[in-house]
Amino acid sequence: MEIQNSTQSVTTVIKGLTIYIIASIVSSVVKIIAVLMNLGTIMCAASTGDMGGAIASLGFTAIITLIVGLAVLYGIWLYYSGLQQFAPELDEVGTKAVGNLSNAALLMLIAQILTMVGIFVPIIGSVIAMILVVIAFVLNIVGYSALRNSASLNSLGQDGAKQLFTGFIFAIIAVCVSWIPVLSWIAAIVLNILYWVYLFKGWGKIRQSLQ
């Protein structure tokens, strides 16, 4: 029963990550489209004087962004729930490691809520959200690093934990690279894809090791 519970909790983690990543990608695309649509609408309204249409368009894109944001929120919550279920099944080292990951997920959850509030009330909470994300990054790197040493995981599971750690290193590099001008976004996309691949492979191996 304990093994079955562990497998189910890791499956929940993977489902949460899947929803979160897909929703995040969609969110980024929607934001780009929204900016282009809003820019075109505002320019059109400025030339025709139809401000009502511009306001309606802005409201529509805000609603779409909100819906996608809720999907991101659900993905994080599901991921957090899976981690909470998985932590008690591990030894002390593993429990503390997953505890750090859970705390990071909780901070990301709060940051996402603050970001969504910012859709309708710009700037409010943005600084706090950014601080929470930075703290979450630190907790994630500490958690993934410690999880590699959990005695509750066999060699396959520890290999998966190592891949999680490596993947998160890619994520950190992607964030750093994104600040560098000239084609930095391409490098960031490639690094993020590597992060996602390692993320799913890592948790997949951990789940497989529990079966």
Domain residue extents for the chain: 2-209
Query: What's the pLDDT at 1?
Result: 40
CA dist list (Å): 74 to 14, 102, 120, 130: 13, 15, 20, 20
Q: What is the distance between the alpha carbons of residues 171 and 191, in angstroms, rounded to a whole number?
A: 7
How far is it, in rounded angstroms, from Cα 7 to Cα 12? 9
Give the pLDDT confidence score for residue 117 in this predicted structure. 76
d(CA 148, CA 157): 8
Count Cβ atoms below 10 Å from residue 121 Cβ, excluding itself: 8
Q: What is the pLDDT along the chain (211 residues), one digit of tens a residue?
A: 455 567 899 999 999 999 999 988 888 787 777 666 655 555 554 455 554 444 445 566 667 777 888 899 999 999 999 999 999 989 999 999 999 999 999 999 998 888 877 655 566 667 788 889 899 999 999 999 999 999 999 999 999 999 999 999 998 888 888 777 666 778 888 888 999 999 999 999 999 988 7
Query: Tell me, what's the pLDDT at 130?
Result: 85
Give, for 207, the enclosing helix (H) or strand (E).
helix 184-209
